Amino acid sequence: MIKYVYCIRKRADLTDEEFHTYWKENHATFICGLAKALKAKKYIQSHKMDTPLNDEFVKSRGFDSPAYDGVTELWWDNLDDFLASFSTPEGVEATKQYIADESNFVDFSQSRAFLTEEHVVFDFTSEQA
């Protein structure tokens, strides 16, 4: 499994509520409409929780900046499928469109993206009670 992981910081001019609402409602719907052109298998948004525990994680590890506001994951079965998503005019156009939409809520200068290969260490989510 190949994942495009995007650690996101919100634009400074948006409140937390505006950021999370736009990302969850507007951008999610937009991305769903592009899924076929992107040849993506799965899309996940992980929104940062409003809890003082996040500050404790920063302190306990000596991070030099606060937690990201959220993480996006786009999934493909393998690297060839990921690369194929950019080999069509539709895939190239879809990529341009979602980057343009991200400018409505993402601070690109403070966000980071990278590809990962999944290695499951344990998965207790499918266990029967």
| Other C-beta atoms lying within 10 Å of the C-beta of residue 55 | 11
pLDDT of residue 61: 86
pLDDT tens-place string over residues 15-64: 999 999 999 999 999 999 999 999 999 999 999 998 888 888 888 888 88
Q: Write the Ramachandran bin of 85: left for phi over 0, alpha for psi from -120 to 50, otherwise beta.
A: alpha
The pTM for the full model equals: 0.86
Residue 129 has pLDDT above 60, yes or no: no
Following CA atoms 113, 116, 120, 121 in sequence, which dihedral angle do they give, to the nearest 10 degrees?
Answer: -80
Please report, to the nearest 10 degrees, the dihedral formed by the alpha carbons of residues 68, 74, 78, 81 taken in order: -140
**Residue 4 pLDDT:** 96
For 56-73, the pLDDT digits (tens) are 888 888 888 888 999 999
List the single range of 67-71, 90-94, 122-126 with lowest mean pLDDT. Answer: 122-126
From CA 64, how far away is CA 111, in angstroms rounded? 14
C-alpha span between 79 and 44 (Å, rounded): 18
